[in-house]
Amino acid sequence: MLSPIILIILISCNFIMAFTNSLAAKPHNYVIVENTFPADKINDPLVLSFRKNYRKRQFQLAGILTVLDLSLLIPMKDSIFMLLFFLLLYITIGGGYLLQIRYIRKGHQLIIDNHWQLTEQPIQVDTRLVLEKNRKLVSPWWFIPSWGLVGLLTFLLHQRELGSLTWILLGTNCFVLLLFLGGWWAIGRLPVRALTDDAKINRQYNDLTKFYWSSFITGTSFIVALIVYLPLLTVESNPRFFNMLLIIEFLLIFLFCGFSLWWLFRLRKKQDQLLTQTSSFRYAGDDYYWRYGIYYNPNDRRLMVPDRIGLNITVNLARVGGKIFIGLLPVVLIGAMVVTVVPLYVLDYHPDPLTYEVKQESVILDGPFYKERRIPYDTIEKAALIERLPRVGMKVNGLATENYAIGSFKVDGNSASLFIDHQSKPILQIKTKSRDYYYTNTDPSTTKQLYQEVKAHQ
């Protein structure tokens, strides 16, 4: 079941990336694929052809990548499967970026060949605009519903006795909310620039940006908390209700993504409508600083800047903070691959990855990269050999694939530690008052031997 899900995720990423990158072909502030064109040339046949070809190539790339992704349907070990998944994901990201660079160059050459270069104009400072830049920024009090939701859901989880998971989620969500607050603060700190000679249009343009982005940040903080907590409130529910809630959550995610795009496109449309009301658009020579699809301007003291599509905020790579942020991205991506693949490699190729140790007063269960579990004999209420696991609910931590389940889970409504190779039967079940344990060795006879040793110590 895991292979089709991963394949769907990868194919979705291909076309989401294609759609997102193709947005650069839609003019915003007269910018098309990081190149600023004269206002009267936006609908020129050459420009229209350039835009169409860029979008077409993005979706052609998505189609080619999808064909490559079908290789995941070939039967293979879990470690090779996940390694291939990450490599295909990185190829998707890198392929889209390289195609974007190619068309940035083609767009620049199109401008040069047709002598459409714009005259760079000095930056105009509007003192009143600078002083009133945050008059439409929403209040930080808009975050109160998000904090209240986190507090309420933490209380409900605590009532369900989910233990340390409750406090881990509380800490994580508080950190995420602080990041959203930081985003709200960064939006307030964004400097303003007079894009035209009309002070009224400049003020309206800025007010739209500050209101739409700050309200989007506060609303997103509430939705993220809801999406994270919602499935955890039903871990002890019957499977039918849990599956129904899972469908509802996926629908909620898709609706939120759709609303986000609508909200930000609405902002783009209003901004572009304002600029069409005047012919005094001021070109500041920004194209030079976006030659690689990333903003790099040593003369700009800003760390966070709006992107040129009008749907995001990016970093100034010339600033130290921007370099750190960009440098962390490959570290995070490679780290995620290593953390996922290495334990699976051990499970696939180590001769005895799931081990146990029988002590005088306890038995110890252990697996790769997971904390060993010591079970005192006097706490064991039941030990049995079973042929299949009871209903496995939520994974608290660890890993779960088609072949392995190692970590902390909810099994049949109870907290449980799993050290399971699904290809090996029978399964040793050990029940205690506070927690259940499930174990299999690669060699079924070894599992049976452990069962006999545990029974002898009871």
Number of structural domains, the chain?
A: 2
Q: If you average pLDDT over residues 5-22, what whole number do you get?
A: 88
For residue 114, being part of any structural domain is answered with no
Contacts of 148 (CB under 8 A, 6+ apart): none
Q: If you average pLDDT over residues 47-74, what whole number do you get?
A: 94
- How does the average pLDDT of the chain come out, rounded? 85
Contacts of 361 (CB under 8 A, 6+ apart): 376, 377, 378
CA 251 to CA 191: how far, in whole Å?
Answer: 37
For 178, phi then psi, to 5°, come to -65, -35
Per-residue confidence (pLDDT) for residue 246, from 0 to 100: 66
- Give the Cα-Cα-Cα angle 159, 165, 168 (nearest 5 degrees): 115
**Better pLDDT: 395 or 240:** 395
Both 155 and 249 in a single domain? Answer: yes
For residue 430, being part of any structural domain is answered with yes
Per-residue confidence (pLDDT) for residue 25, from 0 to 100: 92
**pLDDT band (50, 70, 90) for residue 147:** very high
Contacts of 349 (CB under 8 A, 6+ apart): 79
For residue 162, is pLDDT > 80?
Answer: no
Q: If you average pLDDT over residues 236-256, what whole number do you get?
A: 69
Per-residue confidence (pLDDT) for residue 22, from 0 to 100: 92
For residue 292, is pLDDT > 60?
Answer: yes
For residue 301, being part of any structural domain is answered with no
pLDDT in tens, 82-103: 899 999 989 999 999 999 999 9
For residue 103, being part of any structural domain is answered with no
Both 270 and 360 in a single domain? Answer: no
Both 272 and 380 in a single domain? Answer: no
**Better pLDDT: 242 or 81:** 81
CATH number at residue 439: 2.30.29
**pLDDT band (50, 70, 90) for residue 62:** very high
For residue 104, being part of any structural domain is answered with no
For residue 36, being part of any structural domain is answered with no
Q: If you average pLDDT over residues 385-395, what whole number do you get?
A: 79
Range among 101-115, 215-229, 293-307 with highest mean pLDDT value: 101-115
For residue 89, being part of any structural domain is answered with no
**pLDDT band (50, 70, 90) for residue 57:** very high
Share of the chain above pLDDT 70, in %: 93
pLDDT in tens, 409-419: 878 777 888 99
DSSP 87: H
For residue 379, is pLDDT > 80?
Answer: yes
Are 404 and 427 in contact by the 8 Å Cβ rule? The answer is: no
Both 274 and 363 in a single domain? Answer: no
CA 268 to CA 209: how far, in whole Å?
Answer: 9
Both 138 and 265 in a single domain? Answer: yes
What pTM does this model have? Answer: 0.78
What is the domain extent for residue 403?
Answer: 355-457
Per-residue confidence (pLDDT) for residue 241, from 0 to 100: 61
DSSP 414: E
Per-residue confidence (pLDDT) for residue 437, from 0 to 100: 92
Q: From 282, 297, 331, give the residue that closes a domain.
A: 282
Q: If you average pLDDT over residues 364-376, what whole number do you get?
A: 86
Range among 7-11, 52-56, 147-151, 195-199 with highest mean pLDDT value: 52-56
Q: If you average pLDDT over residues 151-167, what whole number do you get?
A: 74
Per-residue confidence (pLDDT) for residue 393, from 0 to 100: 66
**Better pLDDT: 121 or 209:** 209
Both 278 and 368 in a single domain? Answer: no
Both 128 and 276 in a single domain? Answer: yes
Q: If you average pLDDT over residues 39-46, what whole number do you get?
A: 91
Buried b / exposed e over 112-143, threshold 16 CB at 10 Å, is: eeeebebeeeeeeebeebeeebbebbbeeebb
Q: From 225, 257, 282, give the residue that closes a domain.
A: 282
Q: From 282, 317, 337, give the residue that closes a domain.
A: 282
Share of the chain above pLDDT 90, in %: 26
For residue 243, is pLDDT > 70?
Answer: no
Both 134 and 275 in a single domain? Answer: yes
CA 363 to CA 345: how far, in whole Å?
Answer: 26
Both 131 and 276 in a single domain? Answer: yes
Per-residue confidence (pLDDT) for residue 157, from 0 to 100: 74
Both 174 and 272 in a single domain? Answer: yes
Both 151 and 257 in a single domain? Answer: yes
For the ranges 89-93, 113-117, 300-304, 428-432, which has the lowest average pLDDT? Answer: 300-304
For residue 65, being part of any structural domain is answered with no
Q: If you average pLDDT over residues 249-271, what whole number do you get?
A: 85
Per-residue confidence (pLDDT) for residue 100, from 0 to 100: 93
Both 274 and 162 in a single domain? Answer: yes
